[in-house]
Structure 1
């Protein structure tokens, strides 16, 4: 009897595991800390597991850079798998400013050009390196980091993340593209009123 019970349990577990091979994101459903809800299996196609990062992003902006994400919102097949990727295009003179990924470690590979990259640890130690084509660098989860074009040619890099939705908060945008009152920005950054208002005008912030 005990053997039959164990056999039944094994069959039940195998059947359940098979049904949970993946959870393709349903963009019409709710999203929470664990990601999107799952598409019905009958609605899943091979295209949910394929994404193209072959096209350069538009670098005609203040940063002279573009990030093309393949996170769960764009690439439904990675939902719940703990992995995603993004393409970085950085024009000469461009940069990805100080930012953090609250939900993920980042591993970046430079495939064209060179970048000056670095991160700041929680004890304010700076780790800085010029990366050339073929170099990789890891940015630990949650730490502020940046990438700057270090040459006179466009940069192409790809970053892998340990989450299907790593989240991104850019320091400049948080301070100067939000409606955080200027008086608070001035007090917390030691910047003067004129500088804060100038930066808010550049980034589109209010208040």
Structure 2
């Protein structure tokens, strides 16, 4: 019995030391790290995983407040949605805190089209209106999880998965607040990545991948570019 207990004891000591998968940004190593302004960054010419911090003595109470989300972002293109993202780059107090927050406005029948956030899980709170929301999983493969949500509801979009939001109402707008567990979540729209990249993807790649001919590829490229203008 004693011979069995020693290996079990050692296992209990070392298992907690095993590396674990991280689900978000690294934990901060100090109470705060307010980001330098773009002008200050340009002056220092630094490249970092994150943003450099202001000296503690230079930090003021006003650094921790922002009016950025009081108003919607400009509606661009023909999608009928506007995303105003407060992240470390626009609200320095978020630097090292592992989160960002967005205001998303939707016109009637507006859509925040299929996209991914490579570095963040998103939880969306619907403040006003109605939305059809959903994402596509990888395991089980390509399963579509979707729901119609109403004012006061929450919905979670897991990290890195394709997801969207659509306002099905023909006359009323919608407003959502989204929290993301990264100070720089990133966003890549699928249609833009495929048909409006710079430089463009080879047409042969798109034709083979999508099973369409070159005329259809060119039509889709033009259509996506027109949607963005």
Give the 3-state SS of the residue equivalent to 2:70 in structure 1. coil
Q: Does residue 91 of the first structure (1) align with residue 110 of the second (2)?
A: no
Q: CA deviation at 1:71?
A: 0.7
1:173 maps to 2:188: no
Among residues 51, 66, 73, which one is paired with 2:66 in the alignment? 51
Pairwise CA distance, 1:202? 3.1
Native 8 Å contact 1:130 1:150 kept in 2: no
State the Cα deviation string for residues 129-188 of structure 1 (Å, max 9, x = none): 001111110011111100001213111000001111111111011011112122212222
Further displaced range: 82-91 or 184-193: 184-193
The CA RMSD measured in Å over matched residues stands at 1.8
Describe the superposition over 1:89-115 as per-residue Cα deviations: whole angstroms up to 9, x where unpaired: 111121011111110100000011111
Residues 1-207 of structure 1: pairs in structure 2 closer than 5 A: 20-26=30-36, 27=38, 28-29=40-41, 30-33=46-49, 35-52=50-67, 53-122=69-138, 123-152=141-170, 153-178=172-197, 179-204=200-225
Alpha-carbon distance in structure 2 between the residues aligned to 1:203 and 1:73: 28
Classify 1:171/1:145 alpha carbon distance in 2 versus 1 (closer, same or farther; 3 Å). Answer: same
TM-score by length of 1: 0.84
- Number of residue-to-residue matches in the alignment: 186
Gapped runs of 5+ residues in structure 1? 1-18
Equivalence for 2:7: none
**Measured at CA, do residues 133 and 31 of structure 1 come closer, stay the same or move farther in structure 2, by a change above 3 Å?**
farther
Contact 2:133–2:149 (CA under 8 A) maintained in structure 1:
yes
